[in-house]
Chains A and B, each alone.
Chain A
């Protein structure tokens, strides 16, 4: 158990809908990262927050948005869903947001999103 929690574990929805994925970081971690893993793909970095502020942005679609709240939990909002958005979405956290060996990213178990 990494200490990072993600809810829900599974989500099935229809095209055109909007969903919210939630992540609670490990106690004491200030930074949250979001990743998308599609079938046969590596983890695609979406976005990173540090202490409530956006710190780095990857290949995140305009239909997707995220935020980190004062209690440090984070939400990833996916709207106008398409079939291709079906994927595993991982959240990770680290203390300072460096993601190095001394500031490791701890990953949650992921949310599996299925868009029908």
Chain B
């Protein structure tokens, strides 16, 4: 049972446009959400996070939105750059634990 789902395995966007990556979850006990970026042959690197008490967090070109009622979060990248081409994972932490559940990832390709 996949508690964190990234239903789009891949996404292509033109350079300069907005990239929107989506993530759905089923467990209402998740209290913290993160996005990681992964380049080939490297481990994931932390990008941005959001606590369940917030609905938006912004860091430069990256913004994460959380809709708790829909159990949905999204990552917006504006403007998209070719260097953003990578696999993006969303992850969620179970409240009161140190367990992190990851989605299957979305491969973003930013076209120059």
Residues of chain A contacted by B103 (CB below 8 angstroms): 42
Interface assignment of A25: CB less than 8 Å from any CB of chain B: no
Say yes or no: A45-B100 contact (C-beta < 8 A), given A100-B32, A100-B49.
yes
Number of A-B contacts (CB under 8 A): 64
Q: How far is the CA of A29 from the CA of B24 in the complex (A)?
A: 31
Q: A45-B99, A109-B43 are in contact. List 7 more A-B contacts (CB 8 A).
A: A2-B43, A48-B99, A92-B43, A100-B32, A105-B46, A105-B100, A107-B42
Q: List 19 A-B contacts (CB under 8 A).
A: A2-B43, A4-B43, A35-B102, A41-B104, A42-B89, A44-B102, A45-B99, A45-B102, A90-B44, A97-B98, A99-B98, A101-B46, A101-B49, A104-B46, A105-B46, A105-B100, A106-B46, A109-B42, A109-B43
Residues of chain A contacted by B4 (CB below 8 angstroms): 42
Give chain B's interface residues, CB within 8 Å of chain A.
2, 4, 6, 32, 34, 36, 41-46, 48-49, 89, 91, 93, 97-105
Chain A at the B interface: SS class: loop
Closest 6 CB pairs of A and B: A107-B43, A42-B102, A56-B98, A43-B102, A42-B104, A101-B49
Residues of chain B contacted by A42 (CB below 8 angstroms): 2, 4, 6, 89, 102-105
Interface assignment of A71: CB less than 8 Å from any CB of chain B: no
